[in-house]
Structure 1
């Protein structure tokens, strides 16, 4: 073998060994880079999952706050509407009551109230009051009950009040107190969310 052949052979062997060493170093470096990449990828996934969970919790809290605010606003509107409807209803009730107070049936009811009061007094001295709006019915009521009636200075809307002086008893068949009591205790029933 000639020197040139030996140099060529030596050169090929050295190049092969250098290629093998370079491949080994590149493979080792590639493995290290893949490990670093996997660690970074795992950390990035972990951070993104944590961020997604945090954003989810934050979004849920914001949604709950918005829903709570909306529910509160709905309850306020519902309550306001309920109060408005209640007032309108009782305006209608008073109108119907005024219409009823112009009927013969109302006169007969006043007679019944007076007779019940007289029966309850059992002969004791008493004063029977009728509402100022019923002053036009005084003569009719006195004629049908045999009692002397007094027109009240206080407007109690309608009905009859009687005072038994000896026992300090007020017999109250007045509509004013009954209407106020009904208004105070009235609640709409049957709708969703009603108590």
Structure 2
């Protein structure tokens, strides 16, 4: 190998230094780029997690709001149904009371009273029984007493027709009044859909 001149040595030294510096520069840029990419990826991941949490929270809020609105809607539907049910129930029982009033003006009603009295008397057997009719049926008292061979009394309290009987010795009340029958019907009445 030939001896290098000073200028060549300097050039060789400069090439080595420049190459070494260039390698260090490239390594530093590469390390910095990798670091920045790592920070960027961490930031993206954190942003994705934060977005997922916000989406989940928003879905939950929307679900709660939807359930609340649904519940309020159901309550309003129930109220509306209840109002309509009461209105229709009132109409049904008003019509029923009108029909009972018309029925009480027929001979079939007289026959019903007579049948109730005979059944109550048979139930009492030899026990003393007091049979009551509604004050509105006062004019039927004597005829019913004759037909049933029973002492018929007019009640002090109206009960919309029918009869009531008391067997005091057995502490029994037989209630065949229309008032009681209507109350029972109203309690048990339901519209079927």
TM-score, normalization by structure 1:
0.74
Return the alpha-carbon distance in structure 2 between the equivalents of residues 111 and 131 of structure 1.
13
Return the alpha-carbon distance in structure 2 between the equivalents of residues 59 and 111 of structure 1.
69
Per-residue CA shift, 1:78-102, capped at 9, x if unaligned?
Answer: 3333333323322222112112111
Return the alpha-carbon distance in structure 2 between the equivalents of residues 46 and 72 of structure 1.
39
Structure 1 residue 166: Cα displacement: 5.0
Structure 1 residue 51: Cα displacement: 1.4
Tell me whether 1:190 sits opposite 2:192 in the alignment.
Answer: yes
| Larger CA deviation: 173-182 vs 10-19 | 10-19
Structure 1 residue 74: Cα displacement: 2.6
- Which residue, 97, 102, 119 being the options, matches 1:94? 97
Q: How many correspondences in the alignment?
A: 189
- Structure 1, unpaired ranges of 5+: 1-6
Could you say which residue in structure 2 is the equivalent of 1:73?
76
Tell me whether 1:43 sits opposite 2:46 in the alignment.
Answer: yes
Tell me whether 1:173 sits opposite 2:176 in the alignment.
Answer: yes
Structure 1 residue 53: Cα displacement: 1.3
Return the alpha-carbon distance in structure 2 between the equivalents of residues 58 and 177 of structure 1.
53
Could you say which residue in structure 1 is the equivalent of 2:158?
155
Q: Counterparts of 1:68-147 in structure 2 under 5 Å?
A: 68-147=71-150
SS at match of 1:157: coil
- Structure 2, unpaired ranges of 5+: 1-9
TM-score, normalization by structure 2:
0.75
